[in-house]
Structure 1
């Protein structure tokens, strides 16, 4: 009983000594520095919550303060993993010709959860994937200026086209088929 009375007395003393706004001002000052850095990072490009948290922790901000700021930013929709993932997939598939497999790995590395990744990757259909691969293969094939002299040179040209597709993560079978079609098309242009 005595221990409980002491705790109550300590609590009453802490309440009496508390100055309203004291903790809030300190907390807001700590959050302001984190918020400024976070907004600067978001101004450069969109980021996932996990990626942004990692960058802020690496900048030696307190994890608790970082989480509070990220919650605040999420509440006003400045940090939204679903929007981030959707836009990441849209841009990197269209502009850089990346396959869904590579984009999935990139999003996973950025800390985006499975369901969110699946939703974002749903915007890439099999036809879109093949069209992107075909465009990349045809672009690489256009770099061939003359009909290869022998089988070794033809195989070398084919490997280069397949390599472009492989580096972007397209399936091996599809890559080989599309590379052969692109090479055959280019060789027909050069012969004709």
Structure 2
């Protein structure tokens, strides 16, 4: 048995790799049969492709954005933007223009995305109205302005904002005033009215409706209010 001792010492003498190199080697040995490209995830550190294999090794839905083919680049840009948030066709067209995608290529890609339902301005408008009204308390006028700014066609804008129930719009205005009312207590009634009506006006509520809602809220507190015209003239 003594002649086995040197072999044992030899095995013990081989020190395992330590530090970063050792950890990398260990991971390669422990995962997927030692293939270094497996287990890296869909995206590399640049967020568009996988690891060290170069363009041919890239993975993920946005790798086309780095392509030399304009149509592939356009698809990648649109997919990335749509993943971040819903977009209108006009917003995507503007993004492609900024990235110097040829107009005919951009139109072809946008048309294809519309055909498969990835772009749907009508659905975007309906979702926008619901979300912004319930989340921010915006009225139809402000909502329409925001949709126009995002390139939604006028007919779709009108259809989307008309779905907002007028009674719901009034109730939302009342809730907005009720939340703000406490912070104005102690101020001059005229100043309170200006502040509250101004808040509703910035959210797109018509001046007449805004004044009526504010007047009701102040009178419920026992506050005396003057005629509407004088207040509106001072806004």
TM-score range, shorter chain: 0.7 to 0.9
1:109 aligns to 2:149 (yes or no)? yes
Two-structure CA RMSD over aligned residues (Å): 1.9
1:180 corresponds in structure 2 to 215
Residue of structure 1 aligned with 2:168, choices 128, 135, 139 = 128
TM-score, L = length of structure 1: 0.75
Q: Higher RCO, 1 or 2 (CA under 8 Å, sep at least 6)?
A: 1
5+ residue gaps, structure 2, are 1-66, 224-235
CA distance in 2, matches of 1:56, 1:185: 54
Per-residue CA deviation, residues 141-174 of structure 1 (Å, 9 max, x unaligned), is 0223x444xxxx1211111111110101100011
Per-residue CA deviation, residues 92-114 of structure 1 (Å, 9 max, x unaligned), is 11111111011111112222122
1:96 corresponds in structure 2 to 136
2:27 corresponds in structure 1 to none
Q: How many residues align?
A: 157
CA distance in 2, matches of 1:41, 1:134: 37
5+ residue gaps, structure 1, are 1-26
Contact 1:98 1:168 in 2 (8 A): yes
4+ long deviations beyond 4 Å: none
1:42 corresponds in structure 2 to 82
- The structure that has the greater radius of gyration is 2
Contact 1:141 1:186 in 2 (8 A): no
Contact 1:34 1:69 in 2 (8 A): yes
More helix by share: 1
1:118 corresponds in structure 2 to 158
1:158 corresponds in structure 2 to 193
CA distance in 1, matches of 2:79, 2:214: 44
